Structure 1
Amino acid sequence: MDITDVILHQHAEQRRMFAMLDEIPRTDTETLGAVWRRLEILLETHAEAEERYFYPELLRLGTGAGDADDVEEEVEDAVKDHNDIRDAIRTVGRHEVGSDDWWQAVIDCRVHNSDHMAEEERQDLADFRQHADLTLRHEIAVRFLRFESLEAADGVPPRDKDPEEYVGTGGRPQH
């Protein structure tokens, strides 16, 4: 098990769940709401697990990959992206499920998430594969999945993080 593979798999699941929303009849608000709630939990538990277990190790080992200037820029941007996704999720929650405003908010969330995943796959995951050995990649995957599994039933409360402070503390919890 490799954390980079776990993250890629979950990215595929996120894409699949957004696509499911496309195929649910717009009048079936009960199903739309249920699928959205499941996706919302996945998005936040995934982001929080990355921030707890993946990014601190990336900050420690990475150097910057793809089109990132350096690892600090990579991680700061990723945390900012997570905050943008959290904001988009909150916006979805302010609208009636299935309404035009709800759909627009879901689309906005999808765009933020898609942009983030593409960047993360091109930069962060490549950087980590280049600098982390397989043992560490396995250990992080286990911690990451344990956290997500424990939190998946109810999700975790979304809490924005200051990207600069996050990078400045090496990804340690902010108070």
Structure 2
Amino acid sequence: MDITDLILDDHREQRRLFAILEQIDRAETGVLSAIWGRLAAFLELHALAEEEIFYPALLQVGIAARRTARVEDETFDAIHDHNEIRDAIAEVAQHQVGTDAWYAAVAAANLANSDHMAEEEREGLTDFRRLARLTRRHQLAVAFAAYEARNYAGVEPVDKDPAAYVRAAEQKLRPPVRGSLNVGGLKQN
């Protein structure tokens, strides 16, 4: 099991659900609503799982391989994309299911998501396969699968500041300062 394969599996499922929406008669609003609800929740969960598990690991291996600027840019772009996808999902909710406006909003969400997946598949996943050992990719796959399973009922969509995300993730990667003592969450020397 490899985290990059799990992410690609999720991408295939997202594409499949968008394609299903395109093939349902617009009068079947109950079906459209149910499938969109599943897809919207899945998009949110997938993004958060990546933010919690994959992107910190990508930063870690990229920094270790002296590719800091590249993985920082990839991660920054991914978090920005996730925000755009979340915003597109929220826009769909502003329209009555089955209307032209709803379909246009779904199409915008599909475009934002498709652009993100294509970039991630070309860059982040490719870099990660090159930089991370299979044992590490397996460990992360287990964590990723568990995260999605624990949160199958959905997660709260929250936009993140991409630069702050990258800084916080990198801060967690830095070893503690020698001689410091962590007491009650505060570092003390």
User: Quick check: 1:163 aligned with 2:162?
Assistant: yes
What is the RMSD of the two structures over their aligned residues, measured on CA atoms?
1.4
Unmatched 5+ residue regions in structure 1? 64-68
1:141 maps to amino acid = A
Give the C-alpha shift of residue 171 in structure 1: 6.3
Matches of 2:170 and 2:40 in 1, distance apart?
23
Matches of 1:149 and 1:103 in 2, distance apart?
30
Matches of 2:45 and 2:133 in 1, distance apart?
25
Q: How does 1:38-117 map to 2 (within 5 A)?
A: 38-62=38-62, 70-117=70-117
1:91 maps to amino acid = E
Larger Rg computed on CA atoms:
2
Other structure's SS at 1:70 match? helix
Identity of aligned residues (%): 54
Residue deviations 1:147-175, cap 9 Å, x none? Answer: 1111112x1010000000011112679xx
Q: Do the aligned partners of 1:86 and 1:160 also contact (CA within 8 Å) in 2?
A: yes
Matches of 1:41 and 1:141 in 2, distance apart?
20
TM-score relative to the length of structure 1: 0.92
Q: How many residues align?
A: 167
Q: Do the aligned partners of 1:55 and 1:171 also contact (CA within 8 Å) in 2?
A: no
TM-score relative to the length of structure 2: 0.86
